Amino acid sequence: MDQGTEGESHGGSPSAVAPEPVRFTGSGAEYFGIWIVNLLLTIVTIGIYSAWAKVRRLQYFYRHTELAGSSFDFHGSPIKILIGRLVALAMLIAYNYTVRIQSVWTLAVVGGIALIMPWMLRNSLRFRLYNTSWRGVRFHFRGSVARAYRVFLLYGILSLITLYILAPFMHQRVKAYQHNNSWFGQTRCSFHARAGQFYKLYLLLAAAMVAFVIVVGYSGVFGAFAALAEAQKHGQRVNPYATFRALAILYGLLITIGVSIGPVFHALITNLIWSSTRVGEHRIECNMSPLGLIWISFSNLVLVAVTLGLFIPWASVRMARFQLEAVRLIPAGDLQQFVDAEPDQVGAVGEEAASAFDFDISL
Amino acid sequence: MLTADYFDGRSTRVRVVRLEVGGESLLISGEDIDRRVPFSEVKVDERLGRAPRRLRFADGAFCVVSDLNALDALLASIAHHDGWVDRIQRRARFVLLCLAACGVLAVAAYKWGLPWAAEIGAAHTPAGIGVKLSDQALEVLDGKILLSSRIGEDRRRQLNAKFHALRLPGGGTEQAELLFRRSPQLGANAFTLPDGRIIVLDDLITIVGDDRQILATLAHEAGHGHGNHGMRMLLQNSLVGAFLAFYVGDISNLLAIAPATLMQARYSRDFEAQADDYAAAVLRLNGMSPGLLADALDKLAKSHREGAGAAYLSSHPATDARMHHLRSQ
């Protein structure tokens, strides 16, 4: 999985510097203590503590992530996150309320949210990067607002009206916007994957989905849906157990995709994205094993379900270790010479709104 | 003696330094560094697992210490105290206590907190919202799952009059509007919309037959309207869904759906029992026996066993227990 390096020339880069693997040193048992205290305080304060909980959680993961002997750090302020969460909650309530109770306001609220979302997504990137540091030097995001509207809104609408044929293209543009405008101190990052490489992986995804549907179709599972649809068409009484069975099968199929095709695609696209990203002249290599990710996703799902969620801290730590340790930095020179830049001023509203509406632009 | 990595906060250059206590200050010495920082200006990060801890200084510089035990000894000598959250989250006894507290809170919230919050929420929801939601539900169902009734006009008017003549426990008469519909798919059924309107299906009228028993079923439905069960169910489901998304959403959104569906069962049983009690009170007040509702349920149960009106009972579990309870009143 070395798509990121093919065809690129690195004539002048010195090869004497050894690759630096990312190491993750967290442990599930340790994180359990932090997680359960976070959970309890969040419940007792009816959610207000969740902002402090988020800071603790991120600090736990960042500070246990090590590169070249030094750990990362998270600097987000809980108060800013709390304000962000309250704004996001208000938006979410307005959205759900107006979508359920349709009125003249529905269009205004949905349209308004769509219009401010690109701006919020950009602020979300600014907040997350600015509050991340390594060896005391902070990351920055300097993408323009105009570009955010082009990438998220214009390309979003385009991919929607072309029935997602443009979705891989949009994905590539989003990542290019994200990574080309990221800075580590005064060092700019760059993104080198082409849309064609995204299309290749999305075609693989589409082929896998078609194959899945064919295999499932041959196994006769769809019979349950067909019988249901047939009964409804002829206005017959529908046996509630048949409905239940069909729903259970649908749920099972979604879970199956979630622990098979899902992780494979995630591993391949993550490898492509990160292996195509550079920090200045330093290259990144991401080599996540698709089969390994299937195993982690599947075992996490089973263990979280049978422990009624108590396995969550171990699941999060296993997943973080697996994904982070797949990454290495190929230094083009000395890692001691990065220099910090001017501080940014940025609130957390964008970050919280983006996660409330489930936009995953995670790093 | 304690070694640490020193960073100036402006570049990624690492300097290995020694940390020592000298009077009221921290002494930092190493590769072209020789600083003396008063303890009052040193900010110590909390301990998070075995992650290296940072000692931060006012100018943005900081030291990263990996030897946590040696750091604890140094901090003890300058009388530094870790925060209380910091302390509880790494002591097994407190962690187990928190786990137990979470368990107790979860059960209490599910048993009392959630129904209580939903009841208050439903009581404060403007009536217009219930009407709007019901209108939308009707719009979706009418013509597709709900067809127009084939029960004769006279019979309908008769049932309507009798239903609205029922005196209610709180005084006054029953106001909820009856909507007559037919549905091959839902069979012998009746249900209450969030605004209290009651949909009665043809099969229920034909299978139960006896007017007084039909009235008993309608009184049960009126109990759902009286208790605002539709709106309460809606709010409870939203709250359960939101909590589960928060709890396991990071791992899998799909995992959050299944328990939400299962948790609804208990609430719907409670609401059925409340509606039965209300119906029994209405029946007694109007000089009828609560047993009439049991008779109606019996008929519906029998028709269900014969493969007819399936749906009514699938949402009404433990019918035998309910009939016994009603007949013993």
Residue for token digits 């426990």?
A: B169
Closest listed residue to residue B110, CA positions, set B262, B271, B263: B263
Nearest to B251 among A235, A255, A315 (CB): A315
Nearest to B185 among A69, A71, A237 (CB): A237
pLDDT at residue A232, as a whole number: 63
List, as ranges, residues 249-268 from B with C-beta within 8 Å of A. 250-252, 254-255, 257-258
Residues of chain A with C-beta less than 8 angstroms from the C-beta of B59: none
* Spatial CB neighbours of A40, under 8 Å, sequence gap ≥ 6: B98, B101, B102, B105
pLDDT at residue A231, as a whole number: 64
Nearest CA in chain B to A302: B255
What are φ and ψ of residue A198, in 5° steps? -70, -45
Residues of chain A with C-beta less than 8 angstroms from the C-beta of B246: 50
pLDDT at residue B262, as a whole number: 63
A136·B9 Cβ contact <8 A: yes
A47 φ/ψ sector (left φ>0, alpha ψ -120 to 50, else beta): left
pLDDT at residue A359, as a whole number: 57
Nearest to A37 among B50, B85, B105 (CB): B85
Model confidence band, residue B85 (pLDDT cutoffs 50, 70, 90): confident
Nearest CA in chain A to B312: A240
Nearest to B258 among A135, A239, A251 (CB): A251
Residues of chain B with C-beta less than 8 angstroms from the C-beta of A32: 95
List, as ranges, residues 45-84 from A with C-beta within 8 Å of B. 50, 56, 59-60, 63-64, 69-71, 73
Distance CA B216, CA B220 (A): 6
CA atoms within 13 A on the CB side of B93: 1
Predicted confidence (pLDDT) per residue in B57-68, tens digit:
999 999 999 999
Residue B171 has pLDDT above 70, yes or no: yes
Can you list the alpha helix ranges (DSSP code H) found in chain A?
28-44, 50-63, 78-100, 104-130, 145-148, 155-161, 167-180, 195-218, 223-233, 240-258, 261-275, 290-306, 312-324, 349-356
List, as ranges, residues 98-137 from B with C-beta within 8 Å of A. 98-99, 101-102, 105-106, 109, 129, 132-133, 136
pLDDT at residue B312, as a whole number: 47
Q: Judge residue A113's burial from the number of C-beta atoms within 10 Å of its C-beta, 0-12 exposed, 13-18 middle, 19 or more buried.
A: middle
B105·A40 Cβ contact <8 A: yes
Q: Span A98-122, mean pLDDT?
A: 86
SS3 label, residue B59: coil
Q: Span A86-110, mean pLDDT?
A: 85
Token pair for B275: 């509606």
Model confidence band, residue A145 (pLDDT cutoffs 50, 70, 90): very high
SS3 label, residue A235: coil
pLDDT at residue B318, as a whole number: 67
Q: Judge residue A43's burial from the number of C-beta atoms within 10 Å of its C-beta, 0-12 exposed, 13-18 middle, 19 or more buried.
A: buried
DSSP A270-290: HHHHHHTEEETTEEEEE---H
Nearest to B248 among A238, A309, A336 (CB): A309
Model confidence band, residue A349 (pLDDT cutoffs 50, 70, 90): confident
B7·A305 Cβ contact <8 A: no
What's the whole-number average pLDDT of chain A? 86
Predicted confidence (pLDDT) per residue in A310-321, tens digit:
999 999 999 999
Token pair for B26: 């921290």
Can you list the alpha helix ranges (DSSP code H) found in B89-190?
92-108, 114-124, 127-141, 153-165
Token pair for B115: 């129904």
A251·B255 Cβ contact <8 A: no
Residues of chain A with C-beta less than 8 angstroms from the C-beta of B105: 40, 43-44
Residue B327 has pLDDT above 80, yes or no: yes
Residue for token digits 């208000």?
A: A90
Model confidence band, residue A208 (pLDDT cutoffs 50, 70, 90): very high
B255·A304 Cβ contact <8 A: yes
